[in-house]
Structure 1
Amino acid sequence: MTAWTLGVREAGVARPLADDDGRVRVGSRGFDAGDGELWIDVTAGPEGLELDHLVLEVPADVREGDLAWLNGYQSWSQSEVRPLATCRKRLNRLGRLWKLEQMGDHGIAPDQRDHDAECSHEVLAVQRGEAAHLWGSRIGTEAFAVLEVHGEWLRVVVDVAGWRIEPGETARVAWLEARAGRSAPVLLRDWAGRSWTPRPAPPVTGWTSWYRYYGDIDADSLLGEIDALSASEIRFDVFQIDDGFQTHVGDWLDFAPGFPDGVAPLAEAAKDRGMLPGLWLAPFVAAGNSDLLREHPDWVLRDASGKRVPAGWNGGWKGTFYALDLFNDEVLAYLERVFAEATGEWGFGLLKLDFLYAAALDGRPGMTRAQRMRRAMELLRSWAGDAAILGCGVPLVSAAGLVEYCRIGADVAAKWEDHAQRRMHYRERISTVSSMRSTIARAWMDGTWFGNDPDVVILRTTDTRLSDAERRTLHAVNTTLGSLVFVSDDISTYDPETTALLATWDPPGAARIVAHTRSGMIDRMQTDQGPFVLELGDRTGRVLERE
């Protein structure tokens, strides 16, 4: 039998509503039996109502050891297909000192969450033999939901804090769905398909500057890359400039010394060679050393005590970076101008928009975190116009139906794993193996919410610690399951075998996983294109079978 606790905030004090409070209506159709829906509607009186917290406890046929699809909070957050455990490990003290918790889910309903519990964001699916079960929220753009596993019960924490219901209005503050079937991947894809209509997103290949140069880029080097790509016989649909063209993060209209003529000539050169030009921006944040923050200190998001809200720490940006106040009209006017320049005068047809989770940091009376995040994504969509958006570092449910493509895993690297950050239990760490695990766990999002971006393939044999088997594994996962697949190498250094391997990404397009089992570290997947079998260990990995 489902139980619930709903709290409201009155005169600055949180208090629970009684089960028989006439303002609350609970409905259900077959939910407790494992195949139906459950919802909670709240009607505000003449004074209106502000919600504080909501927790539901629902029966669920889950057991330790069931194969589970666990979805993380945002693009980089660790997502996995693995046996259910009894708990998960928290980010350690060192990670908190580095402000790494800002990128994760630590601020979502912190007073209601059991941060040691095994959990999944928005949806949880499990497979036990020939039986599969799914539980998911239908209102993720209104309130984020965290599904915690507690024995044979799910504790669903719905982040309703700040939700303002106007006088006389009724709001659906929880809407859960339970489904049963034979395949967890099929249940996930069906559930996602009922939620949103994706924007048209044709599968594409491309090149990005990030893993080739990181932030050390200049116009002459990028023009050389454009020449090399156009001279090859490999398909490249997109040429994307990443971080480094600007003086500081936030100062988007000021170009670094290596770009004396700006970036428009590069966009024109890419178009002349048949490639769609793309540009990286992190619109919701600014570096602590930026002119933007120095000249406009009032543009920074501040907490209830008036302190600036940090969005994280980045050594390449000289330390802490901060969230911008997206309810400040001057901030919005500035960002709208940046987008108009990027898509208009500069000529970019694809925008990679990064560190977007910053829009959901800290609270604002009258709106939940999810409502603020969705509003921010709708602003991006309106500013981008006809340009395609590649979202990154974003709560994925907030991006559904608004972006053409979205990153669905961590940044990869020229090594298999960052073991130091793994020991911190940092779920958003840069990690090739974590990225691939997320690509598999979130394959169901492709074509239902957006086109999946699994991050780049790294095939170079210099400046890398990836073995040949590991490079081929990354290539296999990303080209099998991604709709947007980029490379970030100097392709002129490839030997004929590597060139031939990269060329196999044409035609691009993601396979659909229809069945998935796991034995040890070996994932056995059946896709609509044939079998796909991998071993993804913590130390290395390999492809065992691929159609």
Structure 2
Amino acid sequence: MSSRFTLENPHIVLKLDPMASRMMFRRPDTGTRLESSIPTLSYLESGRPKRLTLMQVGSMGEMKPHAAPFRDHQSLRWEETVEGFKLALEWAIPSYAPHILWRWSLRNMRSDPIRLQRALMLACANQAFLEQTGAGGLCKGFPRGTLSRDGLDLTFPGLPATLAVYLPGWQSWSYGGWVMAEDRVPRSRLGPLTLPIIYDQARNPPRTQGHFRSEMFAAVLDTQTRANLTCGFLSQRQSFGSVDVRIHGDARALSVTMDLDGLKLDPNAEFHSDWACLQLGDHGVEGLEDYAALVGSFNQARVAEKASVGWCSWYGYGQAITEAEITANVEAASAVFDQTPSRVIQIDDGFQTEIGDWLSIGPAFPSGMRQVANTIKHAGYEAGIWLAPFIALSRSRVVKNHPDWILRSKWGMPANTGFVWNQFGRAFDPTHPGFLEYLQQVVATATADWGYAYLKLDFLYAGALAGIRHDPGYTRAQAFYKALRLIRETVGGSVTLVGCGCPLGAGIGIFDRMRIGPDVAAHWKPSIPPMTRLLSKEPTLPGAVNAIRNT
């Protein structure tokens, strides 16, 4: 059996060395080259931390051609059984594009369960970075032993002054955009008030200059040569993951990590990872378009023929909206129906008695939500309504009646949702069967009973927070995606779903529209009297500058 294996097309080359547990990626025409260790898995066995390289050095596993999971791709699959685990690694390469895909699976053949913690999918650095890490060759931020002076490489064209990094952010409102390699990513100064909202709680945002952490994917661009590198995942159905880019002068490092959240893997149970993706391009920011097309195809993204244009009550009335105001605005809109492209009228926050009690209608809507929907539809508009299905306030009836539905920390305290509606909220556990029944009831009532065909689902990040789940056999991403899929299956394919405050990767293929920035506002910078001076530079609060930057 050959000791090395190769997948290649005219644009990119992958070489696999099972004997050294190495994988090497190369783009011949740009000189971009990465050499990484094989993916490694961290887990707990009887509470003790363990680490497993998914292709053991000198192992006797078998590498063979495999039926490609994608059209026009060739694939290799490595299988072996080691330390009581049945392991498999797959790589795939297209015939026409400069990207490589890889994923892994693991079956627990032991007699006891284990807890999966995280997987390091890629770890590489250049010699300058390794020399900055001390005599031991160990790099801060990388698991011990995954990055050393021996045999790893990261070669990418460009000087620090010409390199830019693209960061999409954790969810809709998070900072997203390009930053130069010598910059610092703008951070919120509001600590626990906003950190759980705009950052994935599994990882604290980096503080050092030249260290960039991005969710799902990141891109690096040499603005002079147009060489680009895009790295991340095709989906976030199995786990949430991040990409770390480090650029300190000539020192460079790149790592891709998958969070497994302490998933309990029982004997004979199996876990299949999402696909990781590395793309080495040569035509500037268009490389991001190629990655987005690949992600959209894989997730069967719902692409609308045209954007929805309409009116939302929030920006005029906030929570003070009433049935009378909706009726008055419907009449005003009807008078200019043929003169505007607006075809949606959406009721936002304020119709319910409390956040979380979505089926309890407040006194400001005496006719009920079905009658209001009929009023909107009779005027020729699509009726829309706002819900925040994964979050509630402590005084709501649903929280008081079902405290077991609430996601909690390991200390038994409610998970921190951040500061919302002038208080800390409560997040629901999307693995609890009682909550899932309630979720299904809420969206079914809003669509099939009340007659709304446009649902804006907000504060969705609350369904992906870290915490102790009712069912430990799910990662956060698995539980969240299962709940989102339940929503779509309940309302059907004809209902327009709009995701807001949503971890971006998990919503692809579920939502028809997705908010990708903070709330827009009638002022350039965030302005919240009497704290405008303090908050004007907050990168994720409502303001035209933040909305435009993300867009």
TM-score, normalised by the number of residues in structure 1 = 0.72
Structure 1 position 418 matched with structure 2 position 526: yes
The aligned amino acid for 2:56 is: D
How far apart are residue 242 of structure 1 and its match? 0.2
Q: Could you tell which deviates more after superposition, 335-344 or 347-356? A: 335-344
Q: 2:322 aligns with which of 209, 218, 237?
A: 218
Structure 1 position 403 matched with structure 2 position 403: no
2:49 matched residue in structure 1: 14
Greater relative contact order structure (CA < 8 Å, 6+ sep): 1
> 2:533, 2:432 → 1: CA distance?
36
2:375 matched residue in structure 1: 269
The aligned amino acid for 2:253 is: W
The aligned amino acid for 2:166 is: W
CA deviations 1:254-313 (Å, max 9, x no partner) are 222211112222211111111110000001111122222233333322222221223222
CA deviations 1:211-266 (Å, max 9, x no partner) are 11111111111101001111112121111000001111111122222111122222
CA deviations 1:330-377 (Å, max 9, x no partner) are 322223222222112211111111111111112332222211221121
Contact preservation (8 Å) 1:60, 1:153: no
Say which SS state the counterpart of residue 188 (structure 1) adopts.
helix
1:333 matched residue in structure 2: 437
> 2:533, 2:108 → 1: CA distance?
46
Structure 2 spans left out of the alignment, 5+ residues: 1-34, 58-81, 125-153
1:242 matched residue in structure 2: 348
Alignment of 1:5-404 (within 5 A): 5-17=40-52, 20=56, 22=82, 23=85, 24=87, 35-47=99-111, 48-55=113-120, 56-58=122-124, 59=154, 61=156, 64=160, 65-85=162-182, 87-88=184-185, 90-92=187-189, 95-98=190-193, 100-109=194-203, 114=206, 116=208, 117-128=211-222, 129-151=225-247, 152-168=252-268, 171-173=271-273, 175-179=275-279, 180-185=281-286, 186-199=289-302, 201-203=304-306, 204-232=308-336, 233-314=339-420, 317-363=421-467, 364=469, 365-385=472-492, 386-404=494-512
Contact preservation (8 Å) 1:217, 1:244: yes
CA deviations 1:64-88 (Å, max 9, x no partner) are 3423321101111111033234643
Structure 1 spans left out of the alignment, 5+ residues: 440-547
**Aligned CA distance change for structure 1 residues 66 and 277 (closer, same or farther; 3 Å):** same
2:28 matched residue in structure 1: none
Contact preservation (8 Å) 1:109, 1:159: no
The aligned amino acid for 1:105 is: Y
Contact preservation (8 Å) 1:209, 1:240: yes
The aligned amino acid for 1:366 is: G
The aligned amino acid for 2:489 is: S
**Aligned CA distance change for structure 1 residues 373 and 274 (closer, same or farther; 3 Å):** same
Say which SS state the counterpart of residue 51 (structure 1) adopts.
strand
The aligned amino acid for 1:37 is: L
**Aligned CA distance change for structure 1 residues 423 and 231 (closer, same or farther; 3 Å):** closer
> 2:547, 2:155 → 1: CA distance?
29
1:528 matched residue in structure 2: none
Say which SS state the counterpart of residue 351 (structure 1) adopts.
strand
Contact preservation (8 Å) 1:49, 1:164: yes
> 1:60, 1:108 → 2: CA distance?
29
> 1:79, 1:431 → 2: CA distance?
14
Contact preservation (8 Å) 1:350, 1:388: yes
1:432 matched residue in structure 2: 544
CA deviations 1:190-225 (Å, max 9, x no partner) are 332342212252322111101111111111111010
**Aligned CA distance change for structure 1 residues 308 and 169 (closer, same or farther; 3 Å):** closer
How far apart are residue 425 of structure 1 and its match? 7.4
The aligned amino acid for 1:46 is: R
Q: Could you tell which deviates more after superposition, 15-24 or 416-425? A: 416-425
How far apart are residue 26 of structure 1 and its match? 5.0
State the number of aligned residues.
431
Say which SS state the counterpart of residue 2 (structure 1) adopts.
strand
> 2:386, 2:274 → 1: CA distance?
36
The CA RMSD measured in Å over matched residues stands at 2.8
Contact preservation (8 Å) 1:301, 1:308: yes
**Aligned CA distance change for structure 1 residues 226 and 356 (closer, same or farther; 3 Å):** same
